[in-house]
Structures are given as structure tokens and as C-alpha cells.
Chains A and B, each alone.
Chain A
Amino acid sequence: MLLQLENVSKSFGEVRALENVSFVLNYHEIVGLVGGNGAGKSTLIKILAGVFPPDKGRIYLEGQEVVFRNPKEAHNHGIYTVHQKMEEILAPHHDVTANIFMGEEVTRPLFRSFIPFIKVLAKREMEKEAEEILSRVGIRIDSVRRPIVSYSGGQRQAVALARAIRKKPKILLLDEPTAALGVKEKFQVLRLIRRLGKEEGISIVIVSHNLEEVFEVVDRIVVLRNGQVVGECSPSQATKERVVQMIVGGE
């Protein structure tokens, strides 16, 4: 068990967003969180990302209890989020490398022998590493030196994923990763997610309201309704109709 949530509750004023939710994420597993609007998907993922703490309940990471007071602490434990809006996470006029290394640029001393404290960006190294990451996970981009604005939505999302991968996360949280994409690009990104889970060994939680894509990619589906976990199933054993029934409620 990589991650375990135990009886987590969270309310915003009168609104009970999550109520006694328990949730497990195994090593190398891709889990889809589904549910209607206001079911608590986003709240759950934000608690995992450290955006806000739960009111009640515990989180265990690899058996150890952890508390995330802010996103940075979640990062330090290897949990990263890729948001649905690329506009929020990419610098459009910067090249792919700059975006992949944003905020964590690699530097080297300018003069190694004397005044070693003057440090400059190690551009060559960063470019090499960026290319490596991209080719390893099979993202095809013709040049890491071209700015983000010159790429399509799917390619931009891929760059955002590549950035998360570089940080060698244990857990990747994807919030509606394909919401803004066209059909063809959607499948490219889904394939990429699948590969990240299986080949890179990253555990992934996907939040989505598109059952189509959830069935395509995940190992297990967790259904939320009114802030509670109402069902779990494997896509190979359940039908979409069954899941829809769980989402809307009633037997």
C-alpha cells in the first residue's frame, strides 16, 4: 500500500464536502475517481496535494502518517499535481526545457576554480535531460527549444506531464487531464498516462467525469457521491452502466 486515507472528513462551512472517506492507492496502480458535480472529487485530490488539510482523519504514505500543510510539503513527499488548465502551469513564451525545469533550474559554477559562487544556468544539461525525459515516456516534440505557444494543446499537456515526471514523483494527481483537448489528442495523452503508470511505475490518481477515458486507462474505479465513497470496481469486471448507476445513486 502506497497511500492510505482513513476516515477523512472535510467541510466548508455548512457544506460537507467529504464524510468519512477511506481510500487506498497501491504501488503501480492507476485509480480513477469519478462522481457527479460536487461529489467531492476535487476536495479529495486537493487534500492529497496539500492545498488544504482535512478536518478529520489520517493520511498514511508508505505506512507512515503524514500531514501536508501546503503543496510544498506534498511535493517533498513526492506527490505532484497536474492541473486541467495549462494556462495555469506553463509559461507560454518559454521553450519546452524552461517549462520542464521551471522553478528548479539546474545551475553550474561559472568559473569552477575561482569564485565558485557565481552560478549560471546549465542550459546544455537541462536540454539533454528534457530530451531524455520526453523520449523515455514517448512524447514526440520536434525541438525542446521552441516556445510552448507553437505547440498544440495535447503537446502542451504532455510537457506539463513531463515536468511532473522529472521530479520523480511517487504519486501523480491528474485533475481532468484531457478536459481541454480534442479527440485525437485525448487518446495520445491517455496513452501517455498509461505508460507512465506501467513503465515508469508511478501511481496515478485521475479525476474525471468522462467514463469513456477512465475505462480506457485505469486499473480501478472509485465512485464518490455526496462526499462519500459509494462503490469500487475494476473496469474489466464492471460495465459503464453499472458505474453510472453508482454515480447517480439508487439501485
Chain B
Amino acid sequence: MKRREFLKTVLDNSVWVILSIFLIFNAFYTPRFFTVLNLRNILIHSSILGIVVIGESLCLLSGHFDLSVESTLALAAVVGSLLVKNGMGIFTSILAMLLSGGMVGLVNGMLIRKVGLNAFVATLITYIGVRGTALGIVEGKTIWNLPPSFCFLGAGTIWLFPVQILLLIGLYGVFHLLLITTRFGRHVYLVGDNQLAARISGINVDRVVVSVFVLSGFLSAFAGLVMAGRLNSASPLFGTGMVFEAMSAAIIGGISLRGGVGSLPMALGGVLLLSSISNVLNLHAVSPYWIQTIRAIMILFAVVLDSLKRRLVRYEE
């Protein structure tokens, strides 16, 4: 019985266990891996994906897909950069880009709850449409050389710490607390676990789902702001393919695609693991052709562990 408990604890924190093993292994076998500079690099690489993953996880926890995150990121980056380049104030521009993200989320939520579309279909529509809008606004152009104050969130430092790392930690903290200590957070989980039950118990499912998508939109837009600052530019092609990486990270972190199961810190573990893997591959400069395969194996591994864990807690008839 005690072994079973131990096993369960290990499996409950599987991402962190894998991540630790990975870090320790590479500390010995990858030159310059275990240096403050490189660990800082990994956190920097994680920040943008990490912020997107918060939004994606909120949606997944409530039992919905959000494919539109990467398009929203690009739209926000383009909108904000265009405004700021045309002489708009920094805060107005940032506000406008966050609002554009929120709007995309609102449209997603409305399409799902009011029009009654499946989340996959609804966000597929915005995934295509929003990227198209971003392309249209700047006619495919890349905007670059943004004002330093606009880039502060992406490239600035506070004392020794890059702002984007502080943002990553702060946002995970805030949203984790939101999820586990508030009624709203509890309702997000309950809606994802059993939507019918949640509705019968008087939870306003519409409001929960729409809020979740709006939050996801805000977060993606925020990630767009960080990315624009990070790269001192904005392109409508920003974040291409990122939605799959975001889903991979969430799944590796143990967030169930069926909803209601998982936690944000674990998803963060998934993000850090993915970033560490690509960091190590870069440091070694190994053949680039295998990186996708390695990523797939990692996901498979995590999913197998997850189903193992579930078998441990399930009641045996």
C-alpha cells in the first residue's frame, strides 16, 4: 500500500520527475547546459509559449479546444505594433491589442455557446480568419524597430531578471490561484468534468465557457505583446504552428483533452520540458531532422504515464 502511494505521488508529478531526470542527465552530458545563463535561456524560450499554454489550458480544462491562440497572438502583435508605429501611445496600443485578443475570445465563446458550434469547428474558423485579418491589416508586411518602452515586457530586465521570465512566473501564479481557490476556477473544472452535471447544479455554463475563451484570447494577445517586444518586430506569421506546441505542452503536463483534469503548474512543466529538449538539441547541434520524432516520443511517454496514473485511482468493480 505504501508503495502504491509513493507510485501515485510520482505519477501525479510525472512532468517534474521527467524534467528533473532530463536536467540532471544533461547537466553531465551537455556542455554548458547547467549554467545560469543557459537555464535563463530556457526560461526565456518558455515564456511566450508558456503564456499561450495558460489560455489553452483554461480552455482544455473546461473541455474545449482553442485552435485560435496562435492566430490571436499574431493579430495582437500586428495591431499593437501598427498603432504604436503610427504614433499612438504605448498604453493605448497595448490596450487595443489586448482588446483585440479579448474580442477573438468573445467571438469563439459566442460561436460555441450561442450559435452552438463545436469548439473545434468554431476556433478553426477564427484560427483561419484571424490569421487572415492579421495578414490583411499589414498586407503581409513585417513591422520592425519598435519603441523600446513597447518592447519592455518582451526584452527588458528588472534588476537581473528578464521581464518575460517574471511575467511567466507571475501569470502562472495568478491563474493557478484563480483556478484552485475561486468559485470561477472550480466551475471551470466542473464544466470540463461533466457539463451536464454542472448545468443541473445551477452553474451558468455559458458564462463560464465564454469567460474562459475571453481569458484565453487576452493571454494569447499578451503573448503577442511579449513576442513583438522579444523580437523587436511584428509579423502576421508570428506563432505559426504554435497551437500544436501549446497542446503538446498541456498534454505532457497531464491536462486531459476531455476536460476537468490537470493543473497549470503541470502544464508549465510540460512547457519547460519542451523548451529544454529543443535547447539541448540546439546546444548539441544534432541533426535537425529528428527533433519532431523526439517530441512525439516525449508526448507518448507522458500520455502513457497519465493513463497509468488513472488506472491506479479508479475503483475496480
Size of B's binding interface in residues, CB under 8 A: 23
The answer to whether A91 touches B182 (Cβ under 8 A) is no
The answer to whether A147 touches B200 (Cβ under 8 A) is no
Docked CA distance A71–B201 (Å): 10
**For the complex, is A244 an interface residue (Cβ under 8 Å from B)?**
no
Q: For A152, give the chain B residue with the smallest CB separation.
A: B315
Residues B284-317 near A (CB distance < 8 A): 310, 313-315, 317
**For the complex, is A92 an interface residue (Cβ under 8 Å from B)?**
yes
**For the complex, is A149 an interface residue (Cβ under 8 Å from B)?**
yes
Q: Which of B196, B201, B203 has the most CB of A within 10 A?
A: B201
| Known interface pairs A102-B203, A120-B182; A93-B193 also in contact (CB < 8 Å) | yes
Chain A contacts for B317, CB-based, 8 A: 152
The answer to whether A107 touches B183 (Cβ under 8 A) is yes
Chain A contacts for B260, CB-based, 8 A: 91, 93-94
| Known interface pairs A90-B197, A149-B315; A102-B190 also in contact (CB < 8 Å) | yes
CB of B285 to closest CB in A, whole Å: 43
**For the complex, is A98 an interface residue (Cβ under 8 Å from B)?**
yes
* Set B181, B186, B202, B313: member contacting A98, Cβ < 8 A: B186
**For the complex, is A121 an interface residue (Cβ under 8 Å from B)?**
yes
The answer to whether A119 touches B183 (Cβ under 8 A) is yes
Q: For A81, give the chain B residue with the smallest CB separation.
A: B200
Residues A191-233 near B (CB distance < 8 A): none
The answer to whether B190 touches A149 (Cβ under 8 A) is no
| Known interface pairs A94-B260, A102-B203, A104-B202; A119-B182 also in contact (CB < 8 Å) | yes
**For the complex, is A239 an interface residue (Cβ under 8 Å from B)?**
no
Residues B177-205 near A (CB distance < 8 A): 181-183, 186-187, 189-190, 193-194, 196-198, 200-203
| Known interface pairs A88-B200, A94-B260; A149-B181 also in contact (CB < 8 Å) | no
Q: Which of B189, B194, B196 has the most CB of A within 10 A?
A: B194
- A125-165: CB near B (< 8 Å → 1, else 0) gives 00000000000000000000011011110000000000000
The answer to whether A90 touches B203 (Cβ under 8 A) is no
Q: For B180, give the chain A residue with the smallest CB separation.
A: A121
Size of A's binding interface in residues, CB under 8 A: 27
**For the complex, is B96 an interface residue (Cβ under 8 Å from A)?**
no
Q: For B189, give the chain A residue with the smallest CB separation.
A: A94
Chain A contacts for B183, CB-based, 8 A: 105, 107, 119, 121
The answer to whether A91 touches B198 (Cβ under 8 A) is yes
Q: For B261, give the chain A residue with the smallest CB separation.
A: A93
* Set B182, B200, B310, B315: member contacting A89, Cβ < 8 A: B200
Chain A contacts for B189, CB-based, 8 A: 91, 94, 98
CB of B192 to closest CB in A, whole Å: 9
The answer to whether A102 touches B201 (Cβ under 8 A) is yes
**For the complex, is A56 an interface residue (Cβ under 8 Å from B)?**
no
Docked CA distance A90–B203 (Å): 13
Docked CA distance A94–B179 (Å): 14
The answer to whether B186 touches A149 (Cβ under 8 A) is no
The answer to whether B315 touches A150 (Cβ under 8 A) is yes
Chain A contacts for B194, CB-based, 8 A: 87-88, 90-92
Chain A contacts for B182, CB-based, 8 A: 107, 119-121
**For the complex, is A103 an interface residue (Cβ under 8 Å from B)?**
yes
**For the complex, is A16 an interface residue (Cβ under 8 Å from B)?**
no
Chain B contacts for A107, CB-based, 8 A: 182-183
Chain B contacts for A103, CB-based, 8 A: 187, 190, 198, 201-203
CB of A171 to closest CB in B, whole Å: 17
Q: For A94, give the chain B residue with the smallest CB separation.
A: B193
- Given A87-B194, A89-B200, 16 other A-B contacts at CB below 8 A? A88-B196, A88-B197, A88-B200, A91-B189, A91-B190, A94-B189, A98-B189, A98-B190, A102-B201, A107-B182, A120-B182, A121-B181, A149-B313, A149-B314, A149-B315, A150-B313
Q: Which residues of B contact A (CB under 8 A)?
A: 181-183, 186-187, 189-190, 193-194, 196-198, 200-203, 260-261, 310, 313-315, 317
Question: Ordered nearest first, which 5 A-B pairs have the shortest CB separation?
Answer: A103-B201, A91-B193, A120-B181, A102-B201, A103-B202
